[in-house]
């Protein structure tokens, strides 16, 4: 049985080289992510769940070091549970995002963590917060992150419209992630999404063989002309001789 020569792989920690996204709509938010986790050039997990529950109506999307982002999410989950017990009310999305931001900023030299926090609360309704590397905090109607995001900023700018309903927002997230996954070698696998509203949290799943298809490109140096192919072969034989 063949074994993997770890020494030949590019060195690096377990990394969520990734495509993550959250989009706000009238009644809630849609969060989504691919499912590929890498260790250097080796795919350590092809079905990772990068959408992490931190409270009943609040989720985060994780990119960067898997260990760092899991630890941060666990700490925030703990403090949000404590907050709920002491205050007698569920926390706001802004409270959760501020906790993430403080942890990321205070430890920015030691962490590799880019996080999107999204959810619904009774004070504001739906909201999306982006916390990129370095620990900034930005509220936006939509946010993307991870290595795959660089390929789809233009698509998001050109496509996003305010006032979308649930189905239009889900379709936008699905198409954006599929485009990012098709271009980014560190993103792939399946698409996982969560639709968070006042009433419920709904999980959605798109298998790898059912991802939206876009232009795939074609070989431009090859030829479909048999005569040209035969001529090229004859020239090659003459050179060899």
If you count them, how many residues does the chain have? 241
Ramachandran angles phi, psi of 45, nearest 5°: -150, 125
Confirm whether 3 is a catalytic residue: no
Structural Rg of the chain based on CA atoms: 22
* From 3, 18, 69, 98, the catalytic residue: 18
Q: What value, to the nearest 5°, has the Cα angle with vertex 29 and ends 172 and 211?
A: 35
* SS3 per residue for 135-161: CCCEECCEEEECHHHHHCHHHHHHHCC
Q: Which residues pair with 206 in a beta bridge?
A: 191
d(CA 206, CA 190): 6
Using alpha carbons only, give the angle 82, 86, 89 rounded to the nearest 5 degrees.
95
What does the alpha-carbon distance between residue 109 and residue 44 come to, in Å, rounded to a whole number?
25
Contact of 194 with 203, CB cutoff 8 Å:
yes
| Cβ-contact 187, 149 below 8 angstroms | no
- Nearest partner of 129 among 112, 143, 114, 150, judged by Cα: 143
User: Active-site residues: which are they?
Assistant: 18
């Amino acid at each position: 049985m063949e074994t993997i020569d770890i020494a030949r792989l590019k060195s690096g920690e377990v990394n969520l080289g990734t495509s993550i996204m959250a989009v706000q709509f009238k009644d809630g938010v849609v969060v989504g992510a691919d499912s590929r986790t890498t260790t250097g050039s080796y795919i350590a997990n092809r079905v990772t769940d990068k959408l992490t529950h931190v409270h009943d109506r609040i989720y985060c999307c994780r990119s960067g070091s898997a260990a760092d982002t899991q630890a941060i999410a666990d700490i925030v989950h703990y403090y949000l549970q404590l907050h709920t017990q002491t205050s007698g009310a569920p926390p706001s999305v802004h409270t959760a995002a501020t906790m993430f931001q403080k942890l990321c900023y205070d430890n920015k030299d030691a962490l590799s963590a880019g996080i999107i926090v999204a959810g619904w609360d009774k004070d504001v309704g739906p909201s999306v917060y982006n916390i990129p590397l370095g620990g900034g905090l930005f509220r936006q109607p939509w946010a993307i992150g991870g290595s795959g995001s660089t390929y789809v900023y233009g698509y998001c700018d050109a496509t996003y419209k305010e006032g979308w309903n649930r189905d239009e927002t889900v379709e936008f997230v699905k198409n954006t992630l599929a485009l990012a996954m098709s271009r980014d070698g560190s993103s792939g696998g399946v698409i996982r999404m969560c639709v968070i509203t006042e009433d419920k949290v709904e999980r959605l799943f798109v298998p790898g063989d059912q991802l939206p298809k876009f232009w795939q490109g074609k070989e431009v140096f090859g030829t479909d002309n048999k005569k040209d192919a035969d001529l090229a072969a004859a020239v090659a034989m003459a050179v060899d001789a």
